[in-house]
Amino acid sequence: RVSELYGLTKADIDFEARRIKVERQLTRTRHCEYYIEKPKTASGERYIPMTNEVYQAFQNAIQRRKQPKVELLIDGHTGFLFLDKDGKPKVAMHLEHVMKRIVDRYNDTHEDQLPSITPHVLRHTFCTEMASSGIDLKSLQYLMGHSDVGVTLNVYTHASYETAQAAMKKAM
């Protein structure tokens, strides 16, 4: 979830254990007032293991993070990883707008048009790809932060002829 990503602080990244602690969402009101919420479900509080690529991406994010003149304190939390040009924490809308601009630019210059791609679409894609790779459903449920495996299986994973065909070949 983008709000969980943008709720991460430097203290949530454990490079030694190679894990990310997810325990909050950062959101903002229409009046630009920030606030912290718990993840959507109790299962949303979790640790996410870091792949080598994620490890490097967080290393880069922390190294490139500009030190704001004043570290914003939001509901007792400070040191948010992802800041906007004014040094304030980013919220989901920032990534949604960036992704829309990328798709719009692509569509302006290419005959084959891309559909609308949102951060949430990427979440569904991640879940589907992990399921297709053979990860067990309980582990996938945990990674996604779902309280019910039915949500993971019935809402977030998407099958196709190709994935069914590959599964059959693997089973035989």
Catalytic residue list contains 77: no
Catalytic residue list contains 120: yes
Residue in 18, 21, 40, 46 annotated catalytic: 40
SS3 of residue 154 by DSSP? helix
Residue in 97, 100, 120, 158 annotated catalytic: 120
**DSSP E strands, the chain:** 13-14, 19-22, 25-28, 34-37, 46-49
Catalytic residue list contains 1: yes
Handedness of CA 11, 53, 24, 141 (dihedral sign): negative
Residue in 6, 77, 90, 156 annotated catalytic: 156
Residue in 1, 18, 46, 65 annotated catalytic: 1
Catalytic residue list contains 123: yes
Sequence-distant (≥ 6) Cβ neighbours of residue 123 within 8 angstroms: 1, 144, 156
Residue in 18, 21, 46, 123 annotated catalytic: 123
Active-site residues: which are they? 1, 40, 120, 123, 146, 156
